[in-house]
């Protein structure tokens, strides 16, 4: 299992904004008369910018807990956890299949609390794995493209656009390389499952000689610099922040279908500070933490008691039927199957180069 | 545990314990059944999942190839959110793909068409149910064998089994409760005649000795008959006692009436010589009467079955000599020859000296009174025996037993009370000795033998 995980390292890099190890630390400030202080170690694949408001708010509520947060890429996070499963109290990752696999293999302990019991069924698994964000996968387009060809509102629009103006857009389109990015691979397998027309889209990307990159961050940089006019399958939570600051960019949530990915949190069975861990997870899926997510981050709150901008309910109200959250179930395990991955990547390369060959 | 023994409790225990054991067995059986049923139901999922996976196994790029259908795993997960594991192995047992290197199943698939093996395993601390399907490729040229192994946790099965068991348990408990109630009623009904018998006995007047007339089941009827036997014996004893009391009062009345008549007669006269004569006569009568009263008393005492005196070791030779000394004067006056023939060895027995003295006294007295000229007190060592032999008229053999009854006199004799031999008999019984009435030597007179139990050394 370990060796295969190491093989995955070659192609996996699902944290869109790749970062070296970043660390946040909140020392404990015990209140007078309160002798005990707790410890809490969180490893997450979640940028400091997104997690900081959450941690700060939690720390205000529980100043007696010394809090350490390490931001890791999803695969190092997974690897490091397997190497030392008793080092971390809460594990947060956007790599849903890997998190699911940890829970499936019995590495997580259940959380029995009121908040956990009230958490919607579709966003949890066995009281062990909790999906606490709601992030659509989006397209980002530049104003130049909208002005020349109109704004693509759906995958069908995009396919038509690429097929009609493939030459004009040559080199101007960017998306994930599924063979190198775990997130890109996860989306690819999910989209191919949704519709066989996905392969036409891949062929069209090939025809448009699309650039294939590793992370959402790279795509956003290229788009902001004007190198690309259209980015496909960007993580909405990251894209939103950039698009809001850059008037040249527009974010499109496709109206035929839009994948939604969720960050999954779990408490390892061998967590060194399980009490603090339970308090943090309880906070994360409680009304307070979810309100911070809705109001101070672009991650999207899941809590059914919240509606308004920045929540899943709000996104559902505006995009309704189109949203396709990745099912939190054993189907995720199929995603991790070696042979399946090889088969899908082979097909992807074939379709991509077929389009490219046709275009040449 | 000290507890009053009770038939009711005993019956209840011996019926309830097996019933409970039986109930326990039924619960165990129900639990095993529930598990089996749940396993059978959920094993279908393993079957379907392995089939779905096996159908996707192909030969591609010179190796086994699997396009894993996610639905197969979804199927295994069920709504109990089970943990699921799967693996594909080739003909040599080498791992091809999967999310866990599950152990193989050493068993051989029989000739069953589906070629599936199920078993419970513990893998990395997880209790799993594993299904193994052995198949082979049906390609044009390739006939490669392969093995699909899937497993999932048992939570759904256990939930279903618990549900089934709950249903069965409710049924079993209801039956058990019903059985217990019926049992209680049945035991109560079966023991009711006993209660009736008890009430009937308790309700009786303590003086009534009439037999119990009560219809009872066979087992208790035997008890009733035994009770009635006892009552009949008690009736006889009481009749005896009543007769004894009647006889005794009659015996006492006669000398008392004589005394008062004699006194009356004397009072009518003035001659002091007459008075003296009367007083002497009255003295004799009163002595006899008081002796009678003493004999009656000792007889009552001897007849009391509750009376268990403490026996002490004593020597019969000494006893015999003492008796001869005591009675020698009286005998000498009547010109009766009283002698002792003691055994050369000491004859030691367990007994009460005063009783034996009285017995000897009675026997010597009797012999003297009935006209014996020679009285011999004899002892033998083995077996320990005390004998009094006289040369008086003796008792005919057919009347000897009658002589042992109180107030039965040998002849029309007015002197004796008719209690002497009865008292001796009572004393013999107290000592566990045998009383034998026989003829004296030379077929004359009477020989009374007391043979004590045991041997003297």
| Tens digits of residue pLDDT in B129-153 | 999 998 888 777 778 888 999 999 9
Q: Compute CA B245 distance to the chain's CA centroid, rounded to the nearest angstrom.
A: 39
Taking CA–CA distances from B72, the nearest residue in chain A reads A331
Quick check: B323 contacting A, CB < 8 Å? no
B454 pLDDT above the threshold of 90: no
Taking CA–CA distances from B152, the nearest residue in chain A reads A104
Instruction: Report the interhelical angle of A287-296 vs A274-284 (nearest 10°).
Output: 60
Q: Give Cβ neighbours of residue B143 (< 8 Å, ≥ 6 apart).
A: B136, B137
Collect contacts of B230-238 with beta carbons under 8 A, ≥24 apart.
B234/B209, B235/B209, B238/B209
CA gap A329, B83 in Å, rounded: 10
Quick check: A338 contacting B, CB < 8 Å? yes
B349 pLDDT above the threshold of 80: yes
The superfamily in CATH containing domain A2-134+262-325 is: Periplasmic binding protein-like II (3.40.190.10)
Q: What is the DSSP letter of B103?
A: P
Quick check: A1 contacting B, CB < 8 Å? yes
- With an 8 Å Cβ cutoff, are A330 and B100 in contact? no
Q: Compute CA B411 distance to the chain's CA centroid, rounded to the nearest angstrom.
A: 52
Taking CA–CA distances from B77, the nearest residue in chain A reads A330
Mean model confidence pLDDT for chain B: 84
Work out the pLDDT band at A35, boundaries 50, 70, 90. low
Of the segments A71-75, A210-214, B196-200, which one has the largest average pLDDT value? A210-214
CA distances from A264 to A46, A118, B454 (A): 11, 17, 104
Instruction: Please tell me which residue, A182 or A284, carries the higher pLDDT value.
Output: A284
* CA-CA-CA-CA torsion sign (B89, B93, B99, B105): positive
B416, with CB counted inside 10 A (0-12, 13-18, 19+), is: buried
Instruction: Report the interhelical angle of A74-83 vs A2-11 (nearest 10°).
Output: 160
Which residues of B57-177 form beta strands (DSSP E)?
57-60, 63-66, 84-90, 95-98, 116-123, 126-136, 145-153
Region of poorest pLDDT, from A13-17, B29-33, B117-121: A13-17
Taking the CB of residue B23, how many other CB atoms lie within 10 A of it?
A: 17
pLDDT given at position B145: 86
- With an 8 Å Cβ cutoff, are A337 and B69 in contact? no
Taking CA–CA distances from B69, the nearest residue in chain A reads A334
Work out the pLDDT band at A9, boundaries 50, 70, 90. very low
Q: What is the DSSP letter of A217?
A: H
What does the block give as tokens for B399? 């009347």
Taking the CB of residue A332, how many other CB atoms lie within 10 A of it?
A: 26
CA gap B410, A227 in Å, rounded: 158
Work out the pLDDT band at A17, boundaries 50, 70, 90. very low
Annotate A280-306 with b (16+ C-beta within 10 A) or e (fewer): bbbbbbbebbbbbbbeebbbbbbbeeb
Work out the pLDDT band at A11, boundaries 50, 70, 90. very low
Q: What is the pLDDT of residues A188-199, one digit of tens each?
A: 999 998 889 999
Taking CA–CA distances from B73, the nearest residue in chain A reads A330
Q: Are B147 and B134 in contact (CB under 8 A)?
A: yes
Region of poorest pLDDT, from A206-215, B112-121, B272-281: B112-121
CA gap A261, B321 in Å, rounded: 129
Q: What are phi and psi of A358, to 5 degrees?
A: -65, -35
Q: Which residues of B touch A329 (CB under 8 A)?
A: 73-74, 77
Query: Which of B429, B439, B430 is closest to B399 using CA atoms?
Result: B439
Min Cα separation A331/chain B (Å):
5
Question: What is the CATH code for A136-260+337-359?
Answer: 3.40.190.10
Give percent of chain B with pLDDT exceeding 70: 93
CA gap A352, A208 in Å, rounded: 10
Instruction: Please tell me which residue, B324 or B442, carries the higher pLDDT value.
Output: B324
Q: Which residues of B touch A105 (CB under 8 A)?
A: 83, 99-100, 124
User: What residue ranges do the domains of chain A occupy?
Assistant: 2-134+262-325, 136-260+337-359
A156, with CB counted inside 10 A (0-12, 13-18, 19+), is: middle
Grouping H, G, I as helix, E, B as strand and the rest as coil, residue A30 is coil
A288 pLDDT above the threshold of 50: yes
Mean pLDDT of B311-329: 86
Region of B420 on the Ramachandran plot (φ > 0 left; ψ -120 to 50 alpha; else beta): alpha
B10 pLDDT above the threshold of 60: yes
Q: What is the pLDDT of residues B66-119, one digit of tens each?
A: 888 888 999 898 888 899 999 999 888 889 889 888 888 888 776 555 678 899
What does the block give as tokens for B231? 């009552």
If you count them, how many residues does chain B have? 457
Q: What is the pLDDT of residues A93-148, one digit of tens each?
A: 988 999 999 999 999 999 999 999 999 999 999 999 999 999 999 999 999 899 99
Query: Which of B118, B75, B123, B129 is closest to B101 using CA atoms?
Result: B123
Min Cα separation A348/chain B (Å):
15
CA gap A177, A195 in Å, rounded: 19
* CA-CA-CA-CA torsion sign (A308, A312, A313, A319): positive
pLDDT given at position A355: 65
A244 preceded by cis ω (within 30°)?
no
A8 pLDDT above the threshold of 60: no
- With an 8 Å Cβ cutoff, are A339 and B67 in contact? yes
- With an 8 Å Cβ cutoff, are A126 and B81 in contact? yes
CA distances from A102 to A85, A107, A323, A336, B428 (A): 10, 5, 26, 12, 103
- The question of ipTM being above 0.90 is answered as no
Helices (H) then strands (E): counts for chain B: 8, 14
What does the block give as tokens for B235? 């009736």
* Disruptive mutation site among A121, A190, A339, A345 for chain B (greatest number of B CBs within 10 Å): A339
Q: Bridge partners of A22? A: A71
Work out the pLDDT band at A3, boundaries 50, 70, 90. very low
Indicate the residue of B68, B81, B99 with minimum beta-carbon distance to A125.
Answer: B81
Q: Which residues of B touch A331 (CB under 8 A)?
A: 70-71, 73-74
pLDDT given at position A34: 63
Q: What is the pLDDT of residues B161-197, one digit of tens each?
A: 999 999 888 988 999 899 989 989 998 898 888 888 8
- With an 8 Å Cβ cutoff, are A106 and B126 in contact? yes
Work out the pLDDT band at B65, boundaries 50, 70, 90. confident
Query: Which of A312, A311, A336 is closest to A324 using CA atoms?
Result: A312
Mean pLDDT of A304-333: 88
Q: Which residues of B touch A190 (CB under 8 A)?
A: none
Min Cα separation A134/chain B (Å):
22
């Amino acid at each position: 299992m370990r060796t295969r995980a190491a093989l995955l390292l070659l192609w996996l890099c699902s944290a869109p904004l790749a970062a070296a190890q970043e660390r946040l630390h909140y020392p404990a400030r015990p209140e007078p008369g309160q002798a005990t202080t707790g410890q809490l170690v969180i490893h997450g694949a979640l940028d400091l910018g997104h997690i900081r408001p959450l941690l700060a708010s939690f720390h205000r509520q529980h100043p007696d807990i010394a809090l350490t947060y390490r931001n890791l890429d999803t695969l190092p996070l997974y690897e490091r956890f397997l190497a030392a499963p008793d080092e971390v109290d809460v594990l947060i990752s956007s790599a849903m299949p890997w998190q699911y696999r940890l829970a499936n293999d019995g590495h997580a302990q259940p959380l029995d609390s009121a908040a956990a019991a009230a958490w919607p069924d579709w966003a949890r698994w066995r009281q062990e794995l909790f999906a606490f964000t709601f992030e659509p996968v989006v397209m980002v387009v530049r104003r130049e493209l909208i002005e020349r060809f109109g704004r693509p509102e759906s995958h069908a629009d995009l396919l038509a656009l690429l097929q009609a103006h493939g030459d004009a857009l040559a080199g101007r389109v960017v998306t994930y390389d599924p063979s190198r990015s775990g997130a890109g691979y996860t989306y690819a397998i999910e989209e191919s499952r949704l519709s066989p027309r996905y392969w036409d889209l891949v062929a069209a990307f090939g025809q448009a000689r699309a650039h294939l990159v590793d992370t959402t961050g790279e795509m956003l940089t290229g788009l902001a610099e004007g190198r690309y006019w259209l980015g496909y399958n960007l993580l909405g939570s990251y894209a939103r922040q950039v698009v809001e600051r850059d008037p040249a960019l527009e974010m499109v949530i496709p109206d035929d279908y839009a994948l939604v990915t969720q960050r999954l949190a779990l408490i390892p069975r061998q967590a060194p500070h399980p009490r603090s861990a339970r308090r943090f997870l309880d906070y994360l899926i409680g009304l307070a933490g979810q309100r911070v997510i809705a109001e101070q981050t672009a991650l999207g709150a899941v809590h059914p008691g919240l509606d308004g901008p920045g929540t899943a309910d709000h996104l559902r109200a505006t995009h309704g039927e189109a949203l396709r959250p990745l099912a939190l179930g054993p189907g995720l395990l199929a995603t991790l199957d070696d042979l399946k991955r090889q088969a899908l990547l082979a097909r992807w390369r074939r379709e991509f180069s077929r389009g490219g060959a046709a275009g040449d | 545990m000290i507890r009053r023994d009770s038939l009711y409790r005993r019956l209840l225990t011996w019926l309830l314990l097996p019933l409970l054991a039986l109930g326990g067995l039924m619960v165990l059986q129900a639990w095993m059944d529930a598990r089996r049923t749940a396993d059978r139901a959920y094993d279908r999922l393993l079957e379907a999942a392995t089939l779905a996976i096996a159908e996707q196994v192909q030969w591609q790029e010179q190796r086994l190839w699997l396009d894993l259908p996610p639905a197969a795993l979804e199927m295994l997960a069920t709504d109990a959110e089970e943990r699921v594991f799967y693996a594909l192995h080739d003909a040599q047992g080498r791992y091809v793909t999967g999310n866990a290197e599950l152990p193989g199943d050493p068993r051989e698939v029989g000739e069953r068409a589906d070629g599936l093996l199920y078993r419970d395993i513990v893998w990395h601390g997880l209790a799993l149910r594993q299904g193994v399907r052995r198949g082979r490729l049906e390609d044009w040229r390739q006939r490669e064998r392969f093995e699909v192994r899937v497993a999932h946790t048992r939570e759904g099965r256990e939930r279903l089994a618990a549900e089934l068991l709950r249903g069965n348990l409710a049924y079993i408990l209801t039956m058990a409760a019903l059985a217990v109630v019926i049992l209680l009623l049945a035991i109560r009904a079966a023991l009711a005649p006993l209660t009736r018998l008890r009430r009937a006995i308790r309700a009786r007047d303590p003086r009534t000795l009439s037999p119990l007339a009560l219809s009872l089941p066979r087992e208790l009827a035997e008890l009733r008959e035994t009770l009635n036997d006892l009552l009949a014996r008690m009736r006889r004893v009481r009749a005896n006692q009543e007769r004894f009391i009647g006889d005794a009062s009659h015996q006492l009345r006669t000398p008392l009436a004589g005394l008062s008549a004699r006194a009356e007669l004397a009072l009518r006269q003035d001659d002091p010589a007459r008075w003296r004569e009367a007083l002497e006569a009255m003295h004799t009568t009163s002595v006899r009467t008081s002796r009678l009263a003493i004999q009656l008393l000792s007889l009552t005492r001897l007849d009391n079955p509750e009376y268990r005196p403490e026996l002490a070791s004593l020597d019969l030779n000494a006893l015999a000599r003492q008796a001869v000394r005591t009675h020698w004067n009286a005998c000498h006056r009547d010109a009766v020859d009283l002698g002792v023939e003691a055994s050369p060895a000491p004859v030691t027995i367990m007994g009460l000296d005063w009783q034996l003295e009285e017995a000897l006294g009675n026997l010597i007295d009797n012999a003297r009174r009935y006209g014996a000229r020679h009285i011999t007190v004899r002892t033998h060592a083995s077996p320990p025996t005390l004998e009094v032999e006289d040369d008086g008229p003796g008792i005919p053999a057919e009347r000897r037993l009658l002589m042992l009854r109180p107030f039965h006199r040998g002849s029309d004799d007015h002197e004796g009370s008719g209690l002497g031999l009865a008292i001796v008999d009572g004393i013999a019984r107290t000592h566990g000795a045998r009383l034998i009435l026989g003829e004296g030597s030379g077929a004359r007179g009477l020989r009374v033998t007391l043979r004590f139990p045991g041997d003297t050394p």
